[in-house]
A and B are shown apart, each in its own frame.
Chain A
Amino acid sequence: MPCRVGLCLVCLLACAAEFWAQDLGNMQIHGFVTQGFLYSSNNNYLTMNSSSGSLQWTEGAISLTDPVTDNLRVGVQLHMFQMGQVGGPNVQLDWASGDYQVNDNLGFRAGKVKIPLGLYNESQVVDPLFLWILLPQSIYPTDNRDFDLAVLGGEVYGSIDLGKRGGRLHYSGFAGENRLDANGGYVEQLQGYGLTFPTPPGGKAYGGDMRWGWRGLMVGASAQCQALDGTGPDGSLHLPTDLSLVYFADWKRGRWDVTGEYIRTPFVARLTIESTVVPLQFDQRGWYPMVIYRVTDKLHVGSYYSHYVNKAQDTSLPANYAKDWAISGRYDFNAYFYAKLESHFLHGDGLGYYASVNPNGLKPDSNMLAARVGFVF
């Protein structure tokens, strides 16, 4: 199935590229398609049969943007994502918005808008932008990312010029509603508790982001509040409004790019299964330092250490932590085609593992090799 979906995507993108080559005035069409491969020494990762070597990771998107007037721009992006048992062949609406910019200090977006949470949340599905095959999972869990990507609502944004020596301050605030992805990792996990939902749980979300840029330095913080409720034939899920806080810094100088982020999300979710109430207590903390070096214009290499722990539980148990050393390389053949190779040294199984694909249990450590090729225009 992934191969067929991938073929369809390639055809779709080829058609789009053909249209793009023609004169569309100011309207722009862009897209990408990627194929991934995972091989792990132990355990099956991210719902893929990775211990046998798996190609079950196909992804693509196509976006259309049209500047209607000087101040108003409209656009839409469709995204397809199949990774093991999560995602699916269905094309999803990644974002679709009208963007009215009064001036550089003030702008508004409405529709399905991206959530600015940390450095890469808005762009994490866009593989061509990154050196990494897998972003640090402690903050950007690939199997659950669809939930935090966007809200149906609005955003206010802008930036303030602080002068030649003061840099620039960027801000944004958003509010709206979002819903778990029916084919995402959270729904898969809830099914593990015996809960299914005709309509995936959803709720209100709001938050904001503030970041200051000065020359090659960027520092900032993001906050997101999220509530979640859902009812199914076997029970319900209730998550009172929780708060995620992210702090981040990025420093670019010459060929080097050094980044770090820290996130904390404490919450208590309540599952009601028939007449039994099951509280799920979390105090999730994740952080990573990351370094990228540009060897040549076409070759980038880098490494990061990603650390996740659930402080609300026994942190000595592998189920409550996940540590990952990653080393990665990316080569751009030209402006359109690229390839990536990445190794991971995983300790703990607090992230990315599912009982459905690991019926014999999990080993606490695993090494993994990942490869990915992509086409972008």
Chain B
Amino acid sequence: MRAVGRVRACVLGFGMICTCVAARAQDVVIVVNRNVTLSAISAQQLREVFTGVRSRLGDGTRAVPVVLKGGPAHEVFLRNHVGDNPQEFRARWRKAVFTGEGAMPKEFGSEAALLDYVAVTPGAIGYVSRVQEVVGVRVLTVTP
């Protein structure tokens, strides 16, 4: 009985590790323009930038949030870092647009196009999938 219990515990532990690795693998990389002097951003600040509540990053740079038009990386980013689904996210920004309180984040059809824009736009902040090779921009760590 004890051996069976050990096997079960091992299987459970292995499963949990796999789940954590998979969840981590599904996350995205936060990227900013190189003029941003930060190396990390808090989860709350990141959420506030992408919900239009915060207009500046921690170093005082004007934040220019940019997003992908859709796809898995977009959905993962919204779910993990904003707390919205794509419809909620769109509705949130449409409210800002139609009441004169803000402008929609610029959207890109591909991660390469998003990276190109972030690389040349001061204050730009976006995300790409973890598998993407990130060059020409600064990567931010998200702190709790």
Contacts and interface: CB of A to CB of B under 8 A. Distances in A.
Interface residues on B, range: 20 to 34
A113 B101 CA distance: 10
A75 B55 contact: no
Contacts of B99: 95, 114, 122-123, 126
B100 A75 contact: yes
A307 interface: no
B39 interface: no
Interface residues of chain A: helix, strand, loop or mixed (majority): strand
A376 B94 contact: yes
Interface in B37-57: 42, 44, 48, 53-56
B37 to A, nearest CB: 17
Given A28-B104, A70-B62, A65 B97 contact: yes
A279 B103 CA distance: 46
Contact of B103 (A32, A67, A71): A67
Query: Could you tell me the dominant secondary structure of chain B's interface residues?
Result: mixed
A104 B56 contact: yes
Contacts, number: 73
B98 A77 contact: yes
Given A103-B55, A103-B56, A126-B94, A97 B100 contact: yes
A101 interface: yes
A18 interface: no
Given A104-B56, A159-B53, A73 B95 contact: no
27 contacts: A26-B103, A28-B103, A28-B104, A30-B94, A30-B97, A63-B97, A65-B97, A67-B103, A70-B62, A73-B103, A77-B100, A95-B100, A97-B100, A103-B55, A113-B100, A122-B101, A126-B99, A128-B91, A128-B94, A129-B94, A129-B95, A159-B53, A161-B54, A168-B53, A297-B85, A335-B86, A335-B90
